[in-house]
A = this chain, B = another copy of it.
């Protein structure tokens, strides 16, 4: 027989107050996405952040590190580490800028583009897995709402 002591045990913890905030729900859902995405990317030698960096380098030829850091809202010092990892893997190269001797631009190698294409296919499967139970029309509402919240943040 189980004693009832008035103490919370196991996972029966109530978080009703926090659930009233979209930020908390977003964090909880993102934790789930992050866990599955991390598993998805590992076999491709990528993490969430290096995948994002590679995606932007592939999509934006001759991308400047400063623009990349700004686009991903990461510190320049941290970005250097991610770019180093991608360069060491042979997926991204730093090429001198044509307009500024001190600057350089980023370019994906052919291998980098191939790794990215394979990883993107896996990420697409992951995305479908996470969204599987949702109506496409609800997904559209969610994406639009997230963009509105992001824009709201920029305006504050």
Q: Residues of A at under 8 Å CB distance from B?
A: 3, 5-18, 20-37, 48, 52, 55-56, 58-64, 67-68, 70-71, 73, 97-99, 105, 120, 123-124, 126-127, 129-134, 138-139, 141-154, 156
Contacts and interface: CB of A to CB of B under 8 A. Distances in A.
Contacts of A134: 145, 148-149
Given A16-B59, A129-B152, A67 B8 contact: yes
B146 A25 contact: yes
Contacts of A27: 30, 48
Contacts of A10: 67, 70
| Copies of this chain, whole number | 2
A60 to B, nearest CB: 5
B60 A156 contact: no
A98 B56 CA distance: 56
Q: Output the residue of A34, A124, A131 with the most chain B CB within 10 A.
A: A131
